[in-house]
Amino acid sequence: MDGDTGEQWGEDPGWRPSLRFLIPYAVLFQRRSRRDPITTLRILYLSFLSALVLYGFVLLFISSFASERDGVGWAIGIGALALVNLVVVRLVERPLSCESDAALSAAYRNRFFVRIAFAESSALLGFVAAFIIHGSWIYFFSALCSLPGFLRAAPSPAALMRDQEELNSRGCARSLIEAIRRTPPKSW
Which range marks the domain in which residue 87 is found?
16-182
Identify whether 136 is part of a domain. Answer: yes
Identify whether 38 is part of a domain. Answer: yes
Identify whether 146 is part of a domain. Answer: yes
CB proximity list for 126: less than 8 A, separation 6 or greater? 74, 78, 138, 139, 140, 141, 142, 143, 145
Identify whether 4 is part of a domain. Answer: no
- pLDDT for 37-74, tens place per residue? 888 899 899 999 999 999 999 998 987 877 777 889 99
Q: First vs last Cα of the chain: how many Å apart? A: 20
Identify whether 22 is part of a domain. Answer: yes
Residue 1 has pLDDT above 70, yes or no: no
Q: How many structural domains is the chain composed of?
A: 1
pTM (2 decimals)?
0.82
Are the CB atoms for 138 and 75 separated by under 8 Å? yes
- pLDDT for 98-124, tens place per residue? 899 999 999 999 999 999 999 999 999
Identify whether 78 is part of a domain. Answer: yes
Q: In whole angstroms, what is the distance from residue 129 CA to residue 135 CA?
A: 8
Identify whether 37 is part of a domain. Answer: yes
Q: What percent of the chain has pLDDT over 90?
A: 60
Q: How confident is the model at residue 18 (pLDDT cuts 50, 70, 90)?
A: confident
Identify whether 128 is part of a domain. Answer: yes
